[in-house]
Structure 1
Amino acid sequence: MGIAQKVTDPFLKLSVFGWDFGLFILNILTPDLKPGQVIPAHAAGHNLTWPEYVAPRDGDSRSACPMLNAMANHGILPHDGKNITFKELTTKVRETFNFASSFCFFVPKFAADFLERSYWSDKFDLAELNMHAQNAIEHDGSLTRHDVALVPDQGKPDLQLVDELLKEATGTMPDSSPRLTIPDLSRALSKRRYHARKTNKEYSESFFHNFFGSSNSATMLTLFAGSITDLRPMLIEEKFPEHWEPAVRDRYGLTMAKFNSTVIPVERGIDTKKIEQEEAAQNSPSAL
C-alpha cells in the first residue's frame, strides 16, 4: 500500500505504536523541559507569549475542537481555517501543545484517512473535521457541543455546556484555584452521554467513539492540568490564556502510551446508570 496506508492498517499501526513507545522510554530516561521553555524557540507561544487573538470572522472555517480553533484564532494555523496541509497540522500541533511526534502523526493521518485525502499532499478546512458520518473527530456526547443532529454548526462552543463542565471541578490547583480531576471528568461525560441519549434520537456510540470522546476530554487534564482558570478562555473564547504553556514537560512530548494512563481511568469511571438513578431520585414525588 506504500504511502497510501491507513492508520488502521496493522503494519502502520504497529510501526506508529512502536515509535510512540520508544519516545515514552526516552522521556523516562531524559530530563524534563524547564518551565517556560516547553514551546520551541522558533514557535508561536515561546517565552509564554502568544500571537494576537482575533475572533473568527464570517466565512472562517472552524472545527468541533477548541484547541484547533484557538490555533486559528491566534494565527498559528491560517486564521480563516482553510487550505491547511495535514503535515502542517502535525508540525504546528507538536510545537504548540508538546504532543509527541508519533501522536502528532497518528491523529492528522487518521483525519486524512476518514476524509479520504492524502496525508502527504492534500489540504483541508477545519470545518471538514466536523463530518459526522463516522462519528470520529466530531462525535455525539461532546462536552462543549450539542450533537450535530441538534446543532449542525459544530464550529462554536455551547456556553451552557461549557459552564456545566467547569462547575464539575472539585479539585484545587497549587494557587487554590479550582481544578478538574479524573472523577470530575468522568462524571461530566456520564451526564453528557446520558442526556445526549435522551435528547438526540440519532445518538450513536461505540467503544471507539466513547474512547475517542474520553481522549478528547482528557487533554484538559494533561495539557491544562485541569486548571479551570486556563480552561475557561480556551473553551469559551477558544483563546490561549495569557502566559500559558502546556503542563506536559516531557522532553519528547506527550506520548499515546502515557496519555492512556489518564484516558483509561476517565473512561472506566463513566457511569450513566448512576446519573439516571440520581435524576430519577430527584424527580420522585418524595423528593419534591
Structure 2
Amino acid sequence: MKKMGLIKTRFEGLKLSNVGKVRDIYDLGSHLLIVATDRISAFDVVMQEPIPDKGKILTSMSAFWFSKMEDIVGNHLVSINPDDYPSECAPFREELEGRSMLVKKASPLPVECIVRGYLSGSGWQDYRLSKTVSGIRLPDGLKESSKLAVPIFTPSTKAPEGEHDSPITRKETEDILGVENTAKIIEISLAIYNRASKIADEAGIIIADTKMEFGLIDGKLILIDELLTPDSSRFWPKADYIEGRPQKSFDKQFLRDYLLSLSWNQKPPAPNLPEEIIIKTREKYEEALKRLVTQ
C-alpha cells in the first residue's frame, strides 16, 4: 500500500501562529509547539506532494545535533516527547509523535547563518563570476565541489515566504545584528560545523554546507529552528566524492536536480512529482538518518 505523508496540521483548540514551508507552529503561551510536516520545498516553492516520514526524520536529526552541540551553545528544544507537552496537546498525541518539538520562545535573528566547507550550489555560482562568496575572496583555480582550505561563514537575509534569500557580507551582517553578535554567531557557527563535520565523516558523510538559525532569549544567543538536517544541509557520500563535478547526495539536491530537468520557471504551482522521485527522495533522507543518528 502506498505510504501517505502529512501535508498539514490543524489542531482544534491550539493557536496556529505560523505556517512555514515545512513546519506548522502553534503558540502555547510560554512555549511553542513546532510540528514538522512531510512537505518539501525546492527553490522556495512547496511541492504539491509530501515525502512520507520526512518530518519525523528532520525532528530526529535536529534533536540529535542539538544534543551534540549543547556545550558550544544552548538551544530552544525542551522535549520531543508528547508526554511532556501541555495537556491541551494530548488529543493530538498520535500526530505529534516523532515529528514535533516543544521549544522555548525566542526572538529570531533576521539572518540565515550559512557555513560552507565545500564550493557548491550558489557559492559555486558566485565564485565562477567573481572568485568571491559573500564578499570573501577565494583562491583562483577552485573547481565545483572543491574543499575549501578553511570553512567560511556566508550569511544571507531571511526573505519573506515565497521570496529568495539574498547573500550578504560580514559588514552588512554587522549592520543588521551589531558587531558583537555577528562575531559570536560566526564563532559558534564555525564551531558547530567543524564538530558536525568530524561526526559525519565517521559516518561516511561529507557536510558540504549547512544553514542554521539563532535567536535571543533574555539577550542570550541560542540555536533555534532545525539543525544539520537534509533540508538545511548538503550531505554527500564520502565514498563517492570527486572534486570537479556535482556530487551524489543524501538531501533535497536530488529533487532540485529533477526539477531542473523540467521546463519549470521555479514559481508556483510546483509540478507534480512522480512516485519514483518521492520514493527516492525519502530513501536519501532515511539513509542520512540511518548513518548519522541510528548507526
If asked which structure has higher relative contact order (CA below 8 Å, sep 6+), I would say 1
TM-score by shorter chain over 0.5: no
Q: Please, what TM-score do these two structures have when normalized by structure 2?
A: 0.29
> More helix per residue: 1 or 2?
1
Structure number with higher strand proportion: 2
